[in-house]
Amino acid sequence: MKKKFCPKCGKPMENFYGNLCKDCFLLKVSFAKKLPDKIIVRRCKSCEKIFVGKKTANTVENAIDIILADLLKQPEVHSATYRVANSKVHINLTLKVNDLKKTEEKISNLIVKNIFCQYCHMKSTGYYQSILQVRAPSNLINAIMDEIGNQIEFLNQYDNLAFISKIDRNPKGIDIYIGSKRAAVQISKYLKNKFKASIKVSRKLSGYISGKKVYRDTLLVSIGE
């Protein structure tokens, strides 16, 4: 039987992989070189959230997960692991092509850029979508504010506009200006269940964006009245 030889290295071979032997074929298969030399994440110096494009992460590791998940959506990538040390991301890849496997390593520089995110900027300029008007006995106001603060902290994990931009105190209670309309509605429902409150909603036209009407809501939450 006539022996087969690899046209590139001349080694005898039993199976062809793209007309090459296994070793020469695997030399051509590489994904590590497609990975970036620099992995850049942005961290807000005010809220400390980490941003990857339009996505938000809680830690640098979460941000790297997001970046690598997008980059490693390739059929050849069988598995991938990484570790972070000394501002470098050490990435280990296992590639699988047909019945062949290959491991590769890539070391990327990790760069964390400190920024002032658009949501903190909006908060600092007093942006709001809703006013939460709480009317309650004075002895309950501080407890209610604590509850609202806890709810804002929780909702902000999922809604970047869930922030308080201003608080006005008056003899009847407090007016809280909230960046997210959705968060204001959720908090009002929480207060209704927690304190057996009643809710009244009013809406006011605040302007136009791209020709569409934009409204601001006022949610009147009455407790113990």
Amino acid at 51: F
Weakest-pLDDT range from 139-153, 171-185, 209-223:
209-223
102-160 tens-digit pLDDT: 888 889 999 999 999 999 999 999 999 999 999 999 889 999 999 999 999 999 988 99
Q: Is residue 40's pLDDT more than 80?
A: yes
- Domain boundary pick from 100, 115, 130: 115
- Three-state secondary-structure class, residue 163: coil
23 within some domain:
no
Q: Please compute, for residue 22, the number of CA atoms within 13 A of its CA located in the half-sphere on the CB side.
A: 11
Query: What secondary structure letter does DSSP report for 164?
Result: E
Quick one: pLDDT at residue 43?
Answer: 93
Place of tokens 């006013």: 131
The Cα–Cα gap between 133 and 96 comes to: 60
Q: Tell me: do 111 and 203 sit in the same domain.
A: no
- Domain boundary pick from 76, 96, 115: 115
Alpha carbon separation from 224 to 15, 46, 187, 198 (Å, rounded): 82, 37, 17, 9
Q: Tell me: do 99 and 43 sit in the same domain.
A: yes
49, 58 Cβ separation under 8 angstroms = yes
Quick one: pLDDT at residue 160?
Answer: 92
Residue 132: domain span: 118-222
Place of tokens 């003899």: 171
Query: What secondary structure letter does DSSP report for 3?
Result: P
Give the pTM. Answer: 0.71
Quick one: pLDDT at residue 100?
Answer: 81
Q: Is residue 8's pLDDT more than 80?
A: no
199-215 tens-digit pLDDT: 999 988 777 666 677 77
66-112 tens-digit pLDDT: 888 877 777 777 788 888 888 999 988 888 877 788 888 889 999 99
- Domain boundary pick from 62, 88, 115: 115
The Cα–Cα gap between 154 and 206 comes to: 28
The percent of residues in the chain predicted with pLDDT above 90, rounded, is 45
19 within some domain:
no
Q: Tell me: do 176 and 111 sit in the same domain.
A: no
Amino acid at 45: K
11-20 tens-digit pLDDT: 877 777 777 8
